[in-house]
Structures are given as structure tokens and as C-alpha cells.
Structure 1
Amino acid sequence: MGLRIYLTSELSGNNAELYSRIQELETWKNNLTQQIQDMTTNWNELNVSRAQWSIDSYCLGNTESNVKNLNKLNQELETKKNNLTQQKLNMETNWNELNISQAQWSIDSYCLGNTDDKCQPCQFGWFLSQPSCYAINDPPSPGWKTWEEAREECKGKNSDLAVAQEITEEADYVNAPEGPADKKATRPEDTKKEAAGTVDTKASPPVTSELSEDNAKQTAEILNLTSRIQELETRENLTVSCDNLTQAYTVSESNVKDLNAEIKTLTTQKDGLTKQIQEMETNWNELNVSRAQWSINEYCKQGEGMFRNH
């Protein structure tokens, strides 16, 4: 009887200890399960944050690169604008110097060296046959030109190649004070290499090509500037689909707006320079016409072959 009680008591103690151990193990299992779930959640969040970091780094890098490119192009446009402004100033200076030099040329060519104190209607080396001035070119045979070549040479001197329409008119040319001229090359139907013939011009100063060359350079610069502005405008669309870069986008958009404003300003200045060049070319053409008319009115009486005193 005593043995049974002892065994029962011993088994009850072991069962209580096992039950306690089972509860501890169950608690540890639950804790480990929770830790595994937490670690899985953290792992997923880490993957998401890494992906977002990659997107942020890529988008921000592209935005900064685009802003740098825009700044570089803007600096180039500023340089072009400054060059255009300087060329405009140089053109105005050349314009003023040209007016002075042409006025002096008119005096030297038509007035100086005359013993009768009169200004002549034709420059030195030319003779008057109303209503035009003529010069005769009679080179040796190696210097003969075709009709087209002779006319191009005359056009380069602000003149035109004279054509004798009648026999009497040709005789007048040949009997001019400066001597005879070979008239074969003055006829359009002549295709052989002949002398250049008589050159016809009005009593007005020749047009220099200096301003035309400057205008050509100016036009080339404007076309180049227009091309660069168009290239810059095609790069204005810098919208990047990255929602988490609000601060970076704000800075970039502000820079882009500033650059767009500068582009509009440069475009307006370019248009203004283009308009000024066109006005100067128009004034230049009108000035040539008015100078030619002034020379005729100043040195010749209407309908008479007389000269006015200067």
C-alpha cells in the first residue's frame, strides 16, 4: 500500500513538470513564429525601400544631368547673344565709316583735280554721253572675255555692259576722247573670246560689298542661334514619373522655368536684331537710290548737257 502511494506521487510530480515544459515550449514556438513574421515583414519592406532608392537615385541623377545640360546650353546662347550684339555694333560702326568714305570718294572722284572748279558728272577715266557715263576697256587679246564674262565684270563695278544698237551709236563710242574700243564683245550673239568693250554706269558711287558680307555673317549667326534655340526647346520636357522626388522636382522645375524665361528673352532679342538688320538693309538700298538721284540732280541740269558749279 505504501509503494502505490509513492509511485502515484512521483508520477504526479513528473506530469506537472512535463506540462510546465510543454507550456514553455509552446510559448517559445509562438515567439519564434512572431519573430519569423516580423523578419518576413522587414525583409519585404527592405526590398521595397531598395527598389524605391534605385528609382530615386536614377531619376534624380537624370534630372540633375538635364539641368546641367540646360545650363550649358543657356551659357552658349548667352555667348551667341553677346556676339550678335557686338556684330551689330560693328555693323553700325562700319555703316558710319562707309557713309564718310563714300562721301569722300564722291568728292575725290568727281570734283578734285578739275581746273575749271567744277564737279564732273562722271568719275575720273569715264566720259559722259547723256544720260550715262562710259569707260572703254581695250586689253590685248590674252585679256579678252566673252559677253557673259565681260558683263559680270561690269556688274562688279556697279555698271552694265553697253550694247551699241545702231551703227551711229557705235561710231560715237569708238570716237570717244579716250580712244576706240573693240565692240565685238558688246554684242550678245558674239561667243568668241573678245575684248570687254564699253562699260556703262550712272553717275553715282559704287556699292561696296562690305556691308553685304557682314549681313551674310549676321544672317548665318542668326540661323545658328535659331537652330540652337529650337534644340533647347525640344529638351524642355523634363517631366519624370517619380512621385517620391517632390523636393528634387521642385528645384528642377524652378530651374527649367527660369531657363525657359531666359530662352524667351533671347528669342525676343534675336527677333529684334533680325528686324534691325532688315531695316538697315532697306535703308542701305534706299540710300543708294537717293544718292544716285542726288548726283544726277546736283551735277546735271534736266535736258541739258551742262554742269552745275559745286
Structure 2
Amino acid sequence: MRLFKYVILTILIGLFSACSKDIYMFSSFHEPADAGLRLLYSEDAYHWKDLNHVFLKPTVGTQKVMRDPSIVRGPDGLFHLVWTCSWKGDKGFGYAASKDLIHWSEQRFIPVMEHEPETVNVWAPELFYDDEEKRYIIIWASTIPYRFEKGVEEEKNNHRMYYTTTKDFKNFTKAQLFLDPGFSVIDAVIVKRKPKDYVLVLKDNTRPNRNLKVAFAEKALGPYHDVSQPFSGEKTEGPSVVKAGEDYLIYFDSYGDKKYKAVSTKDFKQFKAIDDEVSIPEGHKHGTIFKASKGVLKGLKKEVE
């Protein structure tokens, strides 16, 4: 009898674990980016399905678009979202929060670069939860003409990375320079491997490079050093990183040949192309990969029925 009870309990625990296991979500948008937030989902982080629905239409910013949506599930249980709301002219980004990815708070414009009147743009804000300091870090790319050295790029296309931090999305620290690698840089993503071991995946936006590289640091805010050689071809951008098993997968937009591609790595030094191992819905544009419960996914599917 005890053995029978043990077997039943083991089965029930296994079923509960399977049901409660988180799934992967991928924030997304389609060009021309005026429709709003889309979402993909996956059981294994390799094969993705599109929910084929817009879950939040952008209402803030000069152009009122939603590009580069970045989502993090915080310790408060909320999904926090930031996005690019204009190509040029804005000195901030959009923000909203949700408990289920369906019902969203009122959208707010966060004017992080208003103290820099010459700012040309605020691109691709990326959220990272710093569990060591119990705060959110938001990094983005901006151009301030004649501030930094440049190559063949125009002054209004010479980007550097900036950051702000917040604990409540109401109070933000004054924006500061996050990364100046000596060249125009955009689309950076912070990855924590373990304490005192951080990787930054970034786009070298100089001509003719326009490819992806990595750098390393002991703290989330850097300083980042040892910028690598590129691991992608030219005209690639928008890296999204997820750990699946022992590997880190880096998805990116290879806009030069109009394909979405991926590589895997264990150490961010050796990279393996895995395009034939992944599947991405057509039209997907880059966001971030995060986790949600199967209950949240069930609610999303019900919403789009």
C-alpha cells in the first residue's frame, strides 16, 4: 500500500510540475510597427508559434509606433514593457505593465533624455532585472551629435548606449552613459551568467560592419570590456538571448538577406549557426524572450479565439 501511494504521489507531482512549468514567450512586432505588441510562444525556445493578435496598440510618442518591445517579468509578478515609440524626435520611450499580457496599465512616456536637448532619438530600450541590487536597469541607444568620435557615419547616426534604473517605474535615476566602445553601437542586451559574470550582446552599427559582437563585465552596469570580433554577418541587428539547457541561443534579425537567424553558444566565444534547428513565424521582428506560466498562455489563447 505504501508503495502504491508513493507511485501515485510521484505521478501527481510529475503532472503538477509539467502543468506548472513556465513556457517561453517572445515579444514581437510587424512592420511598419504602427499596429502594436505581438507575442510568440514556445515550449523549447527553438520552435515558435505566433498568437496572431495585437495585444497593445501604441498611443504615446511622436509617431506612436511600437518597435523593439522588451518585456521582463518582475518579482512583483507583473510583466513590464518598454518600447521605441518614434524613429526620431522623442527623448524617451513607452512603458506599460500587465499581470496577464492582455490587460495593460495606462501607457506612459518616460522622458529619459529630456536633459539632453540635442538628443536625436531613443532606440530599442531593453529591460534587465538586476537581482543583486533589486532594481530594473533599462538601456537604450541615443545619438547626441558631436559628442563622440565617429567613423563614416553621419553625426545623427553616431549612437552610444545610455541607462537609467528604477525600482517602481515611477522614479528613475538620471540617464547616464552606459557604453562607449569607441564606435557607434545600438541594440545591446545584458545577460547574467552568474554573480560577477555578465555578457553584453551588442550591434556594431558602424559602416560597413553593422554586425553583432559581445563584451564582458563583472557588474550589470559594467564597465564592459574585451569587445569581440563579430559572430554574425553584415546587416544584422536586434539580438535576443535565452538560455535553453546548457546553451545560450541568440536570435537576430538578418535584415540584409531578410531572414531571422540564430546561433548557439556555451561560452560566448564559440558560436554555432542553428538556423536549421529553429523555426520563426514569418514577419516577426525583434523583441525579448522571457518566461510566463502556462496559465498566462492559456489566457492569451482564449483571448484570441
TM-score after normalising by structure 2: 0.23
**Greater RCO between the two (CA within 8 Å, min separation 6)?**
1
| Greater radius of gyration (CA) | 1
More helix by share: 1
More strand by share: 2
TM-score after normalising by structure 1: 0.22
